[in-house]
A and B are shown apart, each in its own frame.
Chain A
Amino acid sequence: MKHLLSAGDLTHEDALRILDTAEELLGVAKRPIKKLPTLRGRTVVNLFFEDSTRTRISFEAAAKRLSADVINFSAKGSSASKGEGLKDTALTLQAMGADAVVVRHHHSGAPHRLAHAEWTKGAVINAGDGTHEHPTQALLDAFTMRRHLNDGVGDLAGKNITIVGDVLHSRVARSNALLLHTLGAHVTLVAPPTLLPVGVEHWPVETSYDLDASLEKADAVMMLRVQRERMNASFFPSAREYSRRYGLDTARMNRLPEHAIVMHPGPMNRGMEISADVADSGRSVIVEQVTNGVAVRMAVLYLLVGGSTEGDTE
């Protein structure tokens, strides 16, 4: 594994290795000294062409806990806003000696281009590209599910996961569908017909337009954010109607099995896809997802740049 570009690239073995490593690294957050010397002298660049708070600080915390040097590069107020392209930015980073580049870009496929164009020798980690993928989010979701549904060991064979909402614009949904399938889970995507992407019938999932039908057998329900900033057409009649048909409220939550958990990748639109009561309830693991995100990203960084890399001399 040289880069992490798509959740679909991960084999069952790769995925379990990341989750098992994260399980060990989760303990670091509870220690008096929350730092490991492992990536001392390595440089991790956060290259963010799109706004992000949680993903960027999660990667930053992960890299810092492993003692890497972190350089944050955001497109706003940088040379990218002066018209510099991805290539020249990447060449600059290579000249600065980046060992890993965490990239978020508004265009699908940008991390893939960065990884395969040989502009930079560092490992490329996709932190979200357009409406394509967000593999570390899928890993932290799977990690959270595994902790609650399988005591933090093995895979998710036989578990029923329901993902609800704006699948069309969601890179989280795509990455989750691919990874959860690899881990043996059964995924159901629930959305209005207008918010399901073209070609979803080729995904390893079941689809439904009816949220209520899939609640009783769900082991985990993941609510997706309605991405208003990406909506340039009318995908549903009104926010109120969306909320009534596809929002998770207390009545719907009560119909879930006793052990089922409620997830959300954040940021939430309270009152839209999830009601405030549900978001703050005991079934909700939304805050825990954030904590787990740091451990999972530490695991990914360690596994990609913790060993010998090209730049090392014996």
Chain B
Amino acid sequence: MASTSPAVGTPGHSPGRTVLDDTDISRALTRITHEILEKNRDAEGLVLLGIPTRGVHLAQRIAARMSEVEGRTITPGALDITMYRDDLRRGPVRSLEHTDIPDDVDGKTVVLVDDVLMSGRTIRAALDALADLGRPKAVQLAVLVDRGHRELPIRADFVGKNLPTSLAEKVKVRLEEIDEQTDSVTIEGGSE
């Protein structure tokens, strides 16, 4: 999550290089939608949960595409993981984000959606949060970008793009809904 802070390129810093533009992101999300449907056969018994903040918007976009393909409305939800973080004591207290579970998760297949997968700690927290909400039949993970550097044994089932990065680099995902600019994924900083 630290890699996706909403801060836009600091002044005097290079704006970074764009690795995914808006059409790339759109195409990746369409592909992920179809992969989710293919893997689970259809959208029956699926619950899409985005992890705030950008994961929620990605989940909404995937749900919109899924509704089109399936011909019925699929409502995505949001799962805030703040209270389950393992680094709460390492900084000032964090504000909570909104949690909205559209449907009972018992016996369902839950697809977690996030923007960037790195250490895997956010997903670990999300799995704990989910366990307190019920007992899903299965949990799958969809991410827009997988940049490696895992610190926990966690992997994504659906990946928009694998992006090998160095730890000195920052991956920034910008989405129209909250960043008020065109969708993009950029790599900033690093040793150039």
Task: Give Cα distance in the complex from A104 to B131, angstroms.
Answer: 37
Instruction: Say yes or no: is A89 at the interface (Cβ < 8 Å to chain B).
Output: no
Q: CB-CB < 8 A to B84: which residues of A?
A: 36-38
Task: Give Cα distance in the complex from A47 to B93, angstroms.
Answer: 24
Chain A: residues with Cβ within 8 Å of the partner, total of 22
Task: Give Cα distance in the complex from A274 to B183, angstroms.
Answer: 58
Chain B: residues with Cβ within 8 Å of the partner, total of 20
Task: Determine if A27 and B99 form an interchain contact, defined as CB atoms under 8 angstroms apart.
Answer: yes
Task: Determine if A36 and B83 form an interchain contact, defined as CB atoms under 8 angstroms apart.
Answer: yes
Task: Give Cα distance in the complex from A308 to B85, angstroms.
Answer: 13
Task: Determine if B93 and A302 form an interchain contact, defined as CB atoms under 8 angstroms apart.
Answer: yes
* B94 vs chain A, min Cβ distance (A): 7
* B121 vs chain A, min Cβ distance (A): 14
Tally inter-chain residue pairs, CB-CB below 8 A: 51
* B188 vs chain A, min Cβ distance (A): 26
Q: CB-CB < 8 A to B131: which residues of A?
A: 33
- Per a CB cutoff under 8 Å, which of B93, B97, B134 touches A307? B93
Question: How would you classify the secondary structure of chain A's contact residues: helix, strand, loop or mixed?
Answer: loop
Task: Determine if B93 and A24 form an interchain contact, defined as CB atoms under 8 angstroms apart.
Answer: no
Known: A24-B80, A31-B132, A32-B134. A38 touches B88 (CB 8 A): yes
* A42 vs chain B, min Cβ distance (A): 9
Instruction: Say yes or no: is B11 at the interface (Cβ < 8 Å to chain A).
Output: no
Task: Determine if B91 and A35 form an interchain contact, defined as CB atoms under 8 angstroms apart.
Answer: no
Task: Give Cα distance in the complex from A24 to B91, angstroms.
Answer: 21
Instruction: Say yes or no: is A17 at the interface (Cβ < 8 Å to chain B).
Output: yes
Instruction: Say yes or no: is A21 at the interface (Cβ < 8 Å to chain B).
Output: yes
Q: Which of A264-314 contact B (CB under 8 A)?
A: 302-304, 306-309, 312, 314
Closest to B80 in A: A24
Task: Determine if A37 and B89 form an interchain contact, defined as CB atoms under 8 angstroms apart.
Answer: no
Task: Determine if A307 and B99 form an interchain contact, defined as CB atoms under 8 angstroms apart.
Answer: no
- Residue from the set A21, A27, A31, A37 with the largest chain B CB neighbour count within 10 Å: A37
Closest to A32 in B: B134
Instruction: Say yes or no: is B71 at the interface (Cβ < 8 Å to chain A).
Output: no
* B166 vs chain A, min Cβ distance (A): 24
Task: Give Cα distance in the complex from A143 to B99, angstroms.
Answer: 18
- Per a CB cutoff under 8 Å, which of A27, A32, A303, A314 touches B93? A303
Q: CB-CB < 8 A to A37: which residues of B?
A: 83-84, 128
Task: Determine if A307 and B92 form an interchain contact, defined as CB atoms under 8 angstroms apart.
Answer: yes
Q: CB-CB < 8 A to A25: which residues of B?
A: 96
Query: Footprint of A on B, CB under 8 Å?
Result: 80, 83-84, 88-99, 128, 131-134
Query: Footprint of B on A, CB under 8 Å?
Result: 17, 20-21, 24-25, 27, 31-33, 35-38, 302-304, 306-309, 312, 314
Nearest first, the 6 closest Cβ-Cβ pairs linking A and B are A307-B93, A33-B132, A24-B96, A38-B83, A36-B83, A306-B93
